[in-house]
Structure 1
Amino acid sequence: MINPSKQDLIPQITIDCVIFGYESRQLKVLIPKLDFNGDFWALPSGFVQQNDDIDIAAQKILQFRTGIENLYLEQFRVFGKVARNHAAFLDRLIELNSDRLSPVESSKEDYDWFTKRFIAIGYYALVDIGKVQPQKSSIDQTIEWHPVEELPTMILDHQEIVELALKTLRRDLDEKLNAFNLLPDTFTMKEVQEVYETISARPFLRTNFQKKILDLDVLERLEKKFTGAANKAPYLYRFKYR
């Protein structure tokens, strides 16, 4: 970002987003790699305009990164330790990229703006990975899905943010019934069980799980899914409140 100190931003506040997707029985996180020398990986993040609500600012970041409007979003934690600042990260980035940064990008005013203590508001989002069109920012080299168990080493405390987002997602599963946001519009009961097992990192007994989900009365049963196999075709379902 060029000249952040000259823009109408709330200083020392960021929004850091953990975007979860689900594919092939893996829970994944969408992570950009910054387009600088060195391995700098970071969560999709952004600043807050003076005239934006916090939730609106988060929605803008997530819509830009995924191409999806009105996705499922939860604010889960504020990160604000005294030692939380960008100085060590920014010094290392400048050291490795001194020949690439323009005087504006490395000006003292902007350096001072970036290296003050920042408070980050953490959000997690749940998306149908098949609908996402990952979008790089102007400072990204790549943006890709990574299995939650195989994340690259990230800057600042972004690893901790992912870990706490996952812990919160697991805690929210039964209360908020939000796992359905990771599935396509229609799905089988087996696919529901698989996404629950993947998030929870443990198996469930099929008959008990199916009864539990159906008793919630949040699914609409549709036609059977034709597979061409000789075995009984499973029913398709749709989440009523998506």
Structure 2
Amino acid sequence: MIEHHLKTILEKTLQELSIDCVIFGFHAGELKVLLLRWKATDGWSLPGGRIYKDESADNAATRILLERTGLSEIFLHQFHTFGDTNRNKYFTEAELVQKLEATFGSNFLAQLVDKRVVSIGYFALVEFDQVQATPDWYTDECRWWGISEVPPLLFDHNEMIERALKALRQQIRNQPVGYNLLPEKFTMPELQRLYETILDKQFDRRNFQKLLMSYDILEKLEEKRIGVANKSPFLYRFDKQKYEAAMANGVSFSM
């Protein structure tokens, strides 16, 4: 009786747990997300992978991001767990199999589609120009996509991006953002553009600068940005120690 009960539990128990990462980068005044194209298909997805038995979820996310971006020092935030019984939001099971079976074979895809997988979602903030985007073994291409240009993705990855962006917008109202998204030296208009892009909202220049300087996390440099159309603006950089303190203690961004 006990043996039968244990067998039933094992048969019904979820055995697949994965990590999926929404990697945000900021480039040319636009927030972008890194996507991977599956081999020999037009199907795109977020970077992800399984959690090894000997690592935590955070360590697995760090490893996956290192493999995909070449970066080890990345801001990571766990934002949601995705556990719907049907996670193929934009394609039916038949369409998904049709997209992938020519490359991976029916046995591989039967296991992939039939298994119910729960995924822990993380978002990461990276400096665009430092990323060395690298496909994994089942993808052919890594490409940055503007948030407004993201195509229908495999599984429920469009929903992941929407939830990650919502979580990022919530975070930016309580913690400073920019250290992982901007170059070491940047102008105040560039920082303002970052906030406006993430929040999809315009701010008064003077009020924005006054508020950000009140956090005491920025250092104004003597250098200026050369070669811009308007008056050469001063460059700034983050004081890393004060920035980390603001991350720990929180800020109030309200404009």
Normalising by structure 1, report the TM-score: 0.85
After the TM superposition, which of the residue ranges 158-167 and 214-223 deviates more from structure 2? 214-223
Give 1:54's aligned amino acid. Answer: A
Q: Match for 2:40 among 33, 36, 52?
A: 36
Give 2:221's aligned amino acid. Answer: L
Spell out, residue by residue over 1:156-214, the C-alpha distance to the aligned partner (whole angstroms, 9 max, x if none).
11000000100111111031212332101111111110111111111100010000000
CA distance in 2, matches of 1:94, 1:238: 49
Q: 1:114 to 1:57 in 2, by over 3 A?
A: farther
- Aligned-residue offset at 1:97: 5.3
Please report the RMSD computed on the Cα atoms of aligned residues, expressed in angstroms.
Answer: 2.4
Give 2:60's aligned amino acid. Answer: A
CA distance in 2, matches of 1:224, 1:96: 52
- Where in structure 2 are the equivalents of 1:87-98 lying within 5 Å? 91-96=94-99, 98=101
CA distance in 1, matches of 2:116, 2:73: 31
2:171 is aligned with 1:172: yes
Matched pairs, number:
227
Normalising by structure 2, report the TM-score: 0.81
Question: Hey, which of these two has a bigger chunk of helix by percent?
Answer: 2
Structure 1 regions of 5+ residues with no counterpart? 1-9
Partner of 2:4: none
Partner of 1:70: 73
- Aligned-residue offset at 1:239: 1.1
Q: Give the % identical residues.
A: 39
- Aligned-residue offset at 1:83: 2.6
SS at match of 1:213: helix
Give 2:72's aligned amino acid. Answer: E
- Where in structure 2 are the equivalents of 1:107-186 lying within 5 Å? 111-112=110-111, 115-186=114-185
Q: 1:208 to 1:156 in 2, by over 3 A?
A: same
SS at match of 1:175: coil
Spell out, residue by residue over 1:130-176, the C-alpha distance to the aligned partner (whole angstroms, 9 max, x if none).
11110011211211000000101101110000001001111110312
- Aligned-residue offset at 1:235: 1.9
Question: Runs ≥4 in structure 1, deviation > 3 angstroms?
Answer: 88-102, 110-114, 228-233
Partner of 2:85: 82
Structure 2 regions of 5+ residues with no counterpart? 1-13, 244-255
Say if 2:79 and 2:123, in contact at 8 Å, map to a contact too: yes
